[in-house]
């Protein structure tokens, strides 16, 4: 793969890669660094990229793996907040301070990594289940199950927040 | 609307196709939805908002050595061309200096008419000065002219002296 092909196929994916990295790492700066790292690594291995059939899926998969490695590494160094340590603020405080769209984005961030990555790849990037299955190294059925669980959790949270809002209105 | 409720159920079960999800999104964000569906508009708005999250610093394009050389060569040629064009434009539009000028009272005068008038006035003044200076000489000429007949009578002069 020469520089022109690299620019058209890999650099063009930088926004998608950034969104994926941000979803996994839940940090814009770390996501930006991860995208830069991946870009360098792919450039070093550009000779082998010609053999890959679906370059977008391959790059997204590499991005996810790189981010998961970074989480594991940071977790070992005890610098990065682990999945289970993500602290949810009080629902009443959340509703009062933010609009529902922002809250939903946070709700997605509160999901386990696999579910939030799958939801974003499907609902934000509009990817096929087969592509998501390749990126996450899962079967299509497993992707579908995780997608369903993630969406259902978001739905439950939205309903819960709506109920709190209605109760608050009635009390007033 | 019943169809949309079914589609929403299917969506939350993760069973919708991309086309169905597109249709659902279009309906939810249209603003013309059943009251029980309004709550999901924020969900699809959140997805739309996330799609606009772009890399803060976009990745720099990779440029190979060959391309760098070619790009540099193109840049050098372009800049040289621009510089040459600028020089040419400056040379064409340079201020036109005239060699036909006079210095009057320390000032450079390029107005030919003004210079001529000034020179004529000065020459007239000089002429007048000369004229007035020559007037005493005119009297001397008169004396000289009066003495001239006496010079033509040398014999008479010598006879009288003898």
The pLDDT profile of chain B, 162 residues, written as one tens digit per residue, is 788 899 999 999 999 999 999 999 999 998 888 888 888 999 999 999 998 888 766 666 655 555 556 667 778 888 888 888 888 888 887 766 666 777 888 888 888 888 888 888 888 888 888 888 877 777 778 888 888 777 766 555 555 554
Identify the CA nearest to A16 among candidates B58, B61, B17.
B58
Q: Say yes or no: A98 and A163 in one domain.
A: yes
The domain tally of chain A equals: 2
Do A101 and A59 lie in a common domain? no
Shared-domain flag, residues A122 and A71: no
Whether residues A109 and A45 fall in one domain? no
Asked if A158 and A107 count as a contact pair (C-beta separation under 8 A), the reply is: yes
A58, A42: one domain: yes
**For position A103, which CATH number holds?**
1.10.10.10
For residue B70, the chain A residues in CB contact (below 8 A) are: none
The Cα A11–Cα A15 span in angstroms is 9
Can you give the C-alpha Rg of chain B in angstroms? 54
| Domain final residue, candidates A43, A70, A87 | A87
Three-state secondary structure call for residue A146 = helix
Residues A118 and A82 in one domain: no
Q: Number of residue pairs across A and B with CB atoms under 8 Å?
A: 90
Q: What angle do CA A87, A153, A149 make, to 5 degrees?
A: 120
Q: Are A121 and A60 in contact (CB under 8 A)?
A: yes
Here the CATH number for the domain that contains residue A46 is 1.10.1740
A18 touches chain B (CB under 8 A): yes
Do A80 and A104 fall within a single domain?
no
Chain A within 8 Å of B31 (Cβ-Cβ)? no
Q: What pairs with residue B107 in β-bridges?
A: B104
Tell me, yes or no, whether A29 and A94 share the same domain: no
Per-residue DSSP letter, A112: -
Q: Which residue of A has its CA nearest to B66?
A: A3
Q: Which domain holds residue A5?
A: 1-87
Provide ipTM, 2 decimals: 0.78
Contact indicator for A57, A135 with CB cutoff of 8 Å? yes
- For B37-85, the DSSP string reads GGGGHHHHHHHHHHHT---SSPPPPP--HHHHHHHHHHHHHHHHHHHHH
Last residue of a domain, one of A87, A119, A139: A87
> Do A172 and A97 reside in the same domain of the chain?
yes
Residue B24 near residue B8, CB atoms below 8 Å:
yes
Comparing alpha-carbon positions, the chain A residue that sits nearest to B21 is A123
Contact A31, A22 (CB under 8 A): yes
- Summarize pLDDT for A55-113 with one digit per residue, the tens: 899 999 999 999 999 998 887 776 555 454 445 555 555 555 568 889 999 999 999 99
Whole-angstrom Cα distance, residue A3 to residue A158? 46
């Amino acid at each position: 793969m020469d520089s022109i092909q690299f620019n058209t196929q890999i650099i063009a994916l930088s926004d998608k890669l950034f969104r994926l990295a941000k979803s996994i790492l839940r940090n814009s700066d770390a996501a930006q660094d991860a995208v830069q790292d991946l870009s360098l690594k792919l450039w070093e291995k550009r000779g082998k990229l010609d053999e890959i059939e679906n370059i977008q899926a391959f790059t997204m998969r590499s991005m996810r793996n790189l981010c998961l490695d970074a989480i594991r590494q940071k977790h070992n160094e005890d610098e990065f907040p682990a999945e289970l340590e993500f602290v949810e603020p009080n629902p009443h405080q959340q509703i009062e301070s933010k609009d529902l769209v922002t809250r939903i984005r946070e709700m997605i961030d509160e999901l386990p990594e696999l579910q939030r990555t799958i939801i974003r790849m499907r609902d934000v990037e509009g990817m096929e289940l087969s592509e998501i299955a390749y990126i996450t190294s899962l079967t299509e059925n497993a992707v579908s199950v995780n997608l369903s669980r993630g969406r259902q959790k978001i739905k439950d949270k939205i309903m819960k927040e709506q109920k709190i809002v209605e109760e608050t209105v009635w009390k007033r | 609307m019943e169809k949309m409720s079914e589609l929403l159920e299917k969506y939350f079960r993760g069973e919708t196709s991309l086309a169905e999800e597109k249709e659902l999104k279009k309906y939810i964000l249209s603003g013309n939805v059943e009251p029980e569906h309004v709550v999901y508009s924020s969900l699809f708005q959140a997805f739309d908002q996330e799609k606009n999250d772009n890399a803060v610093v976009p990745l720099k394009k990779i440029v190979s050595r060959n391309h760098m050389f070619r790009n540099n060569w193109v840049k050098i040629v372009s800049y040289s061309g621009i510089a040459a064009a600028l020089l040419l434009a400056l040379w064409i539009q340079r201020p036109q200096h005239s060699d036909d000028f006079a210095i009057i009272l320390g000032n450079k005068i390029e107005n030919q008419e003004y210079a001529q008038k000034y020179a004529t006035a000065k020459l007239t003044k000089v002429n007048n000065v000369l004229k007035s200076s020559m007037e005493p000489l005119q009297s001397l000429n008169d004396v000289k002219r009066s003495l001239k007949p006496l010079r033509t009578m040398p014999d008479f002069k010598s006879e009288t002296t003898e």
